[in-house]
Structure 1
């Protein structure tokens, strides 16, 4: 079945109008591409001329000084901690250890042992009456036990005090923020 002439004319007219619409759409898309290309170029110029200098200035005026002062504060804190350990903790610990070693070496000295033996013989030579009145202390490890116990307590107290002195909060350890007038160099 053939199409009528009227329908054929309508189809041709429809093809022409469709072709015109496609051509107009191509022109619009080409024009949109040109506009986007120009916008991209203008955005690059704006970023290079306006945004980059602002970012650079903000970095130089805000971030750099903050990082520098933070590093200085960190260095000062580490120096103070190191000096506290060197001046407070190490001498206290070495003093406690030295005292302990001195007492131990004195306890091993034969002269001290001899004096302790003589003191023991003197008590055995007392009269029986005096021995009844004086009861010898029960043997519970001797004098060295108490001396070592005392030295241990003194050493622990020294270490605790030195650690407390080292770790306590000091207001002078903190570096105050500098004013802006101090940050800008005098011209």
Structure 2
């Protein structure tokens, strides 16, 4: 089936128009990509200038006091208790060395005064338990669950994700007037 010259010219003219429109759309898509890149860059600036300081302020206000209190508990309770345990172990070591040297010098075994050591042991046990109970009573119980800083971080993360998705949707959505059909030579159905 052969086409007339007039129809061929019209089809060529239509094909040139479609090609021109396609090139225009490619330029438009390129511009949209540059706008999306700029939006991403601006989002990064916004994050550095506004979101990060807010998150830092929230951390300083809500989380930092608990971190500091934890450090204080460790330095005022755990470390002294560990020191007391190490000191007791060293005392036992010294007593064993003294007994060993007494045996080596030939003085023999002397039975220690059990009443004297029982009194000392009771006294030290009362002091240690009183000290530890006082320190543990002052330590505040830790809260369970997510704090205000965690909620703020989740809200900001969701808001940033929604903003990025909205920008991508605006960039890539289909406008019927801007797009050309895949087959430019096919006539529309009447």
Band the TM-score falls in, shorter-chain normalisation:
0.3 to 0.5
Whose RCO is larger (CA < 8 A, sep 6+)?
2
